[in-house]
Structure 1
Amino acid sequence: MITLISSLMVFLLVVMIHEFGHFSMAKLSGIQVNEFSIGMGPKILQKETDETKYSLRALPIGGYVAMEGEEEHSENPRSFNNASILKRMAVVLAGASMNFILGFLAFTLIFSIIGYPSNFVNEVIAGSPAEIAGIRSGDIILETSNQKVKDLHDLNQIIQNAKNNSIELKIKRDDEIINLKLTPEFSKENNRYLIGINTELKHSIFKSIQYGFTRTIDMIKVILQSLKMMFSGSFKMEYLSGPVGVVQVIGQESSKGFLNFLQILGLISINLGVFNLLPIPALDGGKFFFLLIEAIIGRPIDERIEQRITLIGISLLISLMIYVTIFNDIGRLFK
């Protein structure tokens, strides 16, 4: 039950913020919005204003913003098809942008709660390059190879750039400045170079924002790398998850506490943002691609051609979802 509730909360938050992006940008652009719906299928609640219907529907598997003139031609001067190309592009991209913002806020809140790793050494791992070089608990790392170190993020960047080449450390120990040299070691478990220290966690809203932004960018890069591997054939289809698998993961992570809930919320939101920007018909990226072609050739693509291509895109996406659900999600349940 907790798994289901957690999954519904994540899906609703991610979908709601995505659709709110389209909705708010359409309103700001002066485009008429006929309906703003969270969920699909039968209506549970609906409130109607002079222009827009606000709906909550039974199936929490999506949502939509129905704009005048989006699916078919309209003579209404405030219709989507009569808006400028830049306004239409902004509306299409606003959904994914809001997903990135939600992910950023989730990660920023995590760092605000747990703190960020500083340059104050809290623990030295036994047998690590740091211990061999003579680093001790309580040391403050000031510089690495003549580059100032303000926190562990700065140190890690220098370590990853150095790889297995030696680096010089300037350390403050009590009132003494000490110079040490060590060589990072590659950790297969962490898939990066390490020197073997843990640092004290500190709290700062500005640092939390910085770390939240960095984590968001890192997640986008990881997702894009996975997509690149998928199209190159080096990414195995068995690693993909459909709705059943996603619900299972959300439930497992959410049961571990609020921080894990925020973590999975950020990951799901950023995944949705990146996926929606792929140039696949029926997705926001596909719509943006059509608008880009229109901007280049100076006229819209034939409506019938666009509808046929979009239908093919929808069919392929549904087929992929069914395949992943049957052969991956359900298959894992019986292992």
Structure 2
Amino acid sequence: METLQIGIQIVLMFFVLVTLHEWGHYFFAKRAGILVREFAIGFGPKLFTYKKGETRYTLRLLPIGGFCRMAGEDPEVLQVVVGQNVGLQLNKDQVTRIYADRFDRLPNIVVGEVEDVDLEKDLFIRLNVDGESIRFPVHPQALTVSQGREVQIAPLNRQYGGKTVGQRALTIFAGPVMNVILAFVLFLIFAFMSGIPTQVKLGDVQDNSPAAKAGLLKGDIIYSANGEAIGTDADKLIKIIQGSPDAPVQFMIERGSEQLQKAVQPTRDLSSDGTKESQPRIGTVLEYKTRTATVGEAFSSSWNDMTFMTKQILIGFKKLVTGDFKMNDLAGPVGTVEFTAQVASAGIAPMIRWSALLSLYLAIFNLLPIPALDGSRLVFIGLEALRGKPIDPNRESFVHFIGFAMLMLLMIAVTYNDILRLIKG
């Protein structure tokens, strides 16, 4: 039952992170008047799909992302060309459907050979009907139908490329912004749930560890170490412990109503091959004694978490650029799910904080200038603003395709490494 609950939490977390990101793109695209053809969660084969209005909503097999497919984001492929025989369905003298095939038996259809067609600017189609050339106006939301598949036409004023630089930039930027907002809200919820730290205290104490041998117990509050007040600075306590490999650390603790002094000698552990020593440690987990946060404190705590985690994420990306990392430092979908399951088993508060971190990571990662990511699309928009004219859509699409392929190869390599790591334990 617990495994099922953790599984549901993981699926829900990824669903919310991806959906909110894509909703940011979707919302501002609709506000700009862009035709959104598909709003998809996941990649690969469709599991569920339905169409409402102009947009098809789909849930796909691979839960590794999502997309908001906008008309004109890639070059439009027209299904109607000069010399082709088509069937037209009219409503009040306007074309509402253009059938590329299978129209012979349809009632009330005008059939003819296409002499001229423009489905982007002037919105018309000219047919040769029984030797007579007739020009038909086309409705802005007309559908082309080929092999039973309906595709709505996209006039230039409904295409992504037909909008201003500002409208397109806002549409692309909105996805990461939604993840940043979600991260802040989740950090805020975590602050209210966990409270404001007032003192460092001991969590679990390992059996036969230096802390256990010195008489330290779970719940002991640490006032000072080697005469230095600790307060809520757990990092300071860790540095004092790691800086005392050869001398005991003098602790002043509070246990209930008593204040006690304990001397703890940190130890080093050898690696499995006996060649490398770990940092000095005492064998305990550090936690915090907390109190309920005020609204102001919760917002301040959320902001501090945001800034700290942003710095850590950027440090991680810097290591990727400089090559200062190992393959095991990276985690793909399998590794992320594995760690998320561990966090979820620790409780709802850690899960909320981890979800906030992932949402922030998703926002920052998407803003990197890597082809196929939002950051790369913003770079192209910026180049267009500087040049005064857009980049060739075919070239831009090719760049994004190559980038997407490289990201998928990296994803496969990292996932393979995750699986090997699981097998090896």
Same fold, TM-score > 0.5, yes or no? yes
Q: 1:301 aligns with which of 384, 391, 395?
A: 391
SS at match of 2:185: helix
Q: Could you tell which deviates more after superposition, 310-319 or 117-126? A: 117-126
Aligned to 2:174: 94
The one-letter code matched in structure 1 to 2:160 is F
SS at match of 2:420: helix
Task: Provide the aligned length of Structure 1 versus Structure 2.
Answer: 283
- Judged with a 3 Å threshold, the aligned counterparts in structure 2 of structure 1 residues 115 and 197 are, in CA distance, closer, same or farther, namely closer
1:6 aligns with 2:15: no
After superposition, what is the alpha-carbon deviation per residue over 1:167-208, rounded to whole angstroms, capped at 9, x for unaligned? xxxxxxxxxxxxxxxxxxxxx989xxxxx9966523212221
CA distance in 1, matches of 2:19, 2:47: 16
Q: 2:413 aligns with which of 323, 327, 331?
A: 323
1:25 aligns with 2:1: no
Q: 1:279 aligns with which of 334, 347, 369?
A: 369
After superposition, what is the alpha-carbon deviation per residue over 1:279-303, rounded to whole angstroms, capped at 9, x for unaligned? 0110111111111111111111122
CA distance in 2, matches of 1:98, 1:85: 20
1:106 aligns with 2:186: yes
- Judged with a 3 Å threshold, the aligned counterparts in structure 2 of structure 1 residues 321 and 39 are, in CA distance, closer, same or farther, namely closer
CA distance in 1, matches of 2:340, 2:377: 29
TM-score normalised according to structure 2 size: 0.60
Aligned to 1:254: 344
- Judged with a 3 Å threshold, the aligned counterparts in structure 2 of structure 1 residues 189 and 35 are, in CA distance, closer, same or farther, namely farther
CA distance in 1, matches of 2:422, 2:62: 24
- Judged with a 3 Å threshold, the aligned counterparts in structure 2 of structure 1 residues 255 and 25 are, in CA distance, closer, same or farther, namely same
- Judged with a 3 Å threshold, the aligned counterparts in structure 2 of structure 1 residues 129 and 295 are, in CA distance, closer, same or farther, namely farther
CA distance in 1, matches of 2:64, 2:287: 44
Aligned to 1:127: 225
Q: Could you tell which deviates more after superposition, 65-74 or 251-260? A: 65-74
After superposition, what is the alpha-carbon deviation per residue over 1:115-168, rounded to whole angstroms, capped at 9, x for unaligned? 11359999443534435xxx9xxxxx9xxxxxxxxxx69xx99xx9xxxxxxxx
Q: Could you tell which deviates more after superposition, 199-208 or 296-305? A: 199-208
Alignment of 1:1-335 (within 5 A): 1-2=3-4, 3-73=6-76, 75-118=155-198, 123-130=221-228, 200-335=290-425
CA distance in 1, matches of 2:309, 2:350: 16
TM-score normalised according to structure 1 size: 0.75
CA distance in 2, matches of 1:115, 1:128: 28
Aligned to 1:138: none
Among all aligned residue pairs of Structure 1 and Structure 2, give the percentage whose two residues are the same amino acid: 33
- Judged with a 3 Å threshold, the aligned counterparts in structure 2 of structure 1 residues 76 and 333 are, in CA distance, closer, same or farther, namely same
- Judged with a 3 Å threshold, the aligned counterparts in structure 2 of structure 1 residues 329 and 219 are, in CA distance, closer, same or farther, namely farther
SS at match of 2:225: coil
CA distance in 2, matches of 1:272, 1:332: 24
- Judged with a 3 Å threshold, the aligned counterparts in structure 2 of structure 1 residues 271 and 198 are, in CA distance, closer, same or farther, namely closer
Higher Rg of the two aligned structures: 2
The one-letter code matched in structure 1 to 2:28 is M
SS at match of 1:125: strand
The one-letter code matched in structure 1 to 2:338 is Q
CA distance in 2, matches of 1:34, 1:49: 11
SS at match of 2:372: coil
Q: Could you tell which deviates more after superposition, 249-258 or 42-51? A: 42-51
CA distance in 2, matches of 1:226, 1:299: 36
CA distance in 2, matches of 1:271, 1:104: 12
SS at match of 2:171: helix
SS at match of 1:77: helix
**Which structure has greater strand proportion?**
2
Which segments of 5 or more consecutive residues in structure 2 lack a partner in the other structure? 77-153, 202-219, 240-277, 281-285
**Which structure has greater helix proportion?**
1
SS at match of 2:181: helix
- Contact kept, 8 Å, 2:172 with 2:377, in 1: the verdict is yes
- Contact kept, 8 Å, 2:50 with 2:56, in 1: the verdict is yes
The one-letter code matched in structure 1 to 2:197 is P
Q: Could you tell which deviates more after superposition, 52-61 or 105-114? A: 52-61
CA distance in 2, matches of 1:41, 1:197: 43
- Contact kept, 8 Å, 2:199 with 2:288, in 1: the verdict is no
- Contact kept, 8 Å, 1:118 with 1:199, in 2: the verdict is yes
- Contact kept, 8 Å, 2:327 with 2:417, in 1: the verdict is no
After superposition, what is the alpha-carbon deviation per residue over 1:300-319, rounded to whole angstroms, capped at 9, x for unaligned? 11222212222221121111
- Contact kept, 8 Å, 1:21 with 1:95, in 2: the verdict is yes
1:6 positional shift: 2.9
Larger RCO (alpha carbons 8 Å, 6+ apart): 1
SS at match of 2:34: coil
CA distance in 2, matches of 1:200, 1:10: 27
CA distance in 2, matches of 1:237, 1:125: 40
- Judged with a 3 Å threshold, the aligned counterparts in structure 2 of structure 1 residues 197 and 231 are, in CA distance, closer, same or farther, namely closer
